[in-house]
């Protein structure tokens, strides 16, 4: 695929790089990359891969730009609040580089559509922020033999790797399931909305992903295939973990048990919580007589500081270490922001022998909506 005069000028600073040249730029122009998510990790990937001259970029995201995104998703601005992220991103990036073709998918990637979408791309970059999507995208890339650029962020730390890359002798490098064959318990994996994220971290990790994507496309350098890069932004250190093929990998191991895409929400949800565990209490009942109950707030301390119902604050991840603070002789109303973490907390506490638990229906969001509309909840 030949380059136009304008393209030779636009990409001059990388074309003149040793071992890159016109051939490397032509590989980028001929390549197609799918970005899963246009958020914290997806945005820098989109910006740098567009600027670098990738010929066709697909972006899939069902979410809309919100005010809480702007602290780290610097591709967007305040005027775009409420606009679909994939659409907003493609519109801006087309102005950055009109030579790149964009395909927008305003939908959530799922077991029903993943194979049909991914099959048309040479390489996939995972910018998702949840385990079901990570396992789904990994498995789809394995079945379709597509390389996958992995990235993850939490608080001040990030991870990057290259999965399923085709090696010189024709085999494939390790993949996500070689590292994590099965997911950890849901309560052990808080999201960025629960645990927070350092604003510049997605830009750093996303740029590392884009770097690996360009190397895979052009064949330059040594990629992170077979290695997991761990980056700590607080002390600015990096370390590497070696990844080897795992014979217990349920997709590519010696005895594969997964041969097609599955229900990844159920796969990552862990044991089903029995119905009686989720005995609940409405916000109106709690408001009418809160003296009868011991209120346990399992949100993070920063959430509690913004607004609370006056209960004891023990974050979900610290429950097992602070069980002595939770009474066994009084009904305990467990709540979080919406009811998800509190349900997980109840399941955990039941395993420790508690039988006096009630889940506050709708969490503090329901309290704001039905009891106190002026309560601040973020």
Active-site positions read 192, 336
Helix ranges (H only) for the chain are 5-10, 12-15, 21-30, 42-52, 85-96, 114-118, 131-144, 176-179, 192-195, 201-218, 264-269, 283-288, 301-306, 340-351, 363-370
Query: How many CA within 13 A on the CB side of residue 341?
Result: 25
Q: How far is CA 322 from the centre of its chain?
A: 29
Half-sphere exposure of 331 (CA within 13 A, CB side): 13
CA pair distance 219, 151, nearest whole angstrom: 20
Give the Cα separation of 164 and 171 in Å (integer).
9
How many whole angstroms separate alpha carbon 62 and alpha carbon 164? 26
Alpha-carbon gap, residue 358 to 331, rounded angstroms: 7
- Of the candidates 189, 192, 178, which has an alpha carbon nearest to the alpha carbon of residue 150? 178
- Torsion angle of C-alpha atoms 137, 142, 147, 149, degrees rounded to 10: 30
Sheet holding 56-60, edge to edge: 101-105, 56-60, 32-36, 123-126, 148-154, 157-163, 227-232, 237-242
Q: Are 164 and 141 in contact (CB under 8 A)?
A: yes
Structure tokens at 55: 């010929």
Integer angstrom CA distances of residue 335 from 8, 103, 304, 372:
59, 41, 11, 16
User: What's the CA gap between 210 and 223, in Å, rounded?
Assistant: 11
The values of phi and psi at residue 149, to 5°, are -95, 115
Answer yes or no: are the C-beta atoms of 165 and 178 closer than 8 Å: no
């Amino acid at each position: 695929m030949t380059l136009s005069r304008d393209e030779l000028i636009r990409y001059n600073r990388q074309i003149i790089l040793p071992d890159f040249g016109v051939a490397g730029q032509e590989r980028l122009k001929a390549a197609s990359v799918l970005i899963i998510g246009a958020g914290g990790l997806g945005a820098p990937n989109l910006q740098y891969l567009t600027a670098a001259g990738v010929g066709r970029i697909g972006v899939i995201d069902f979410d809309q730009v919100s005010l809480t995104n702007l602290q780290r998703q610097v591709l967007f601005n305040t005027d775009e609040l409420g606009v679909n992220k994939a659409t907003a991103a493609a519109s801006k990036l087309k102005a950055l580089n009109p030579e790149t073709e964009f395909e927008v998918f305003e939908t959530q990637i799922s077991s029903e559509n993943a194979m049909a979408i991914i099959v048309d791309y040479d390489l996939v970059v995972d910018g998702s922020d949840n385990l079901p999507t990570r396992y789904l995208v990994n498995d789809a890339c394995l079945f379709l033999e597509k390389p996958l650029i992995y990235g993850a962020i939490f608080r001040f730390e990030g991870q990057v790797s290259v999965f399923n890359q085709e090696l010189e002798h024709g085999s494939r490098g390790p993949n996500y399931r070689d590292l994590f064959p099965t997911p950890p318990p849901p309560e052990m994996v808080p999201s960025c909305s629960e645990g927070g994220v350092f604003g510049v971290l997605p830009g750093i990790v996303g740029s590392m992903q884009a770097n690996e994507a360009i190397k895979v496309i052009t064949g330059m350098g040594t990629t992170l295939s077979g290695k997991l890069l761990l980056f700590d932004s607080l002390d600015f250190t990096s370390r590497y973990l070696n990844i080897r093929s795992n014979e217990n990998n349920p997709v590519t191991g010696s005895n594969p048990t997964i041969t097609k895409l599955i229900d990844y929400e159920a796969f990552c949800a862990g044991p089903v919580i029995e119905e009686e565990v989720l005995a609940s209490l409405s916000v109106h009942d709690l408001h009418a007589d809160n003296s009868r109950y011991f209120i346990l707030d399992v949100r993070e301390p920063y959430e509690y500081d913004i607004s609370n119902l006056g209960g004891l604050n023990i974050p979900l991840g610290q429950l097992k270490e602070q069980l002595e603070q939770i009474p066994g002789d009084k009904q305990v109303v467990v709540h979080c922001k919406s009811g998800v973490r509190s349900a997980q907390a109840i399941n955990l506490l039941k395993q420790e022998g508690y039988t006096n638990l009630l889940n506050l229906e709708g969490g503090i969001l329901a309290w704001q909506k039905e009891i106190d509309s002026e309560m601040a909840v973020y």
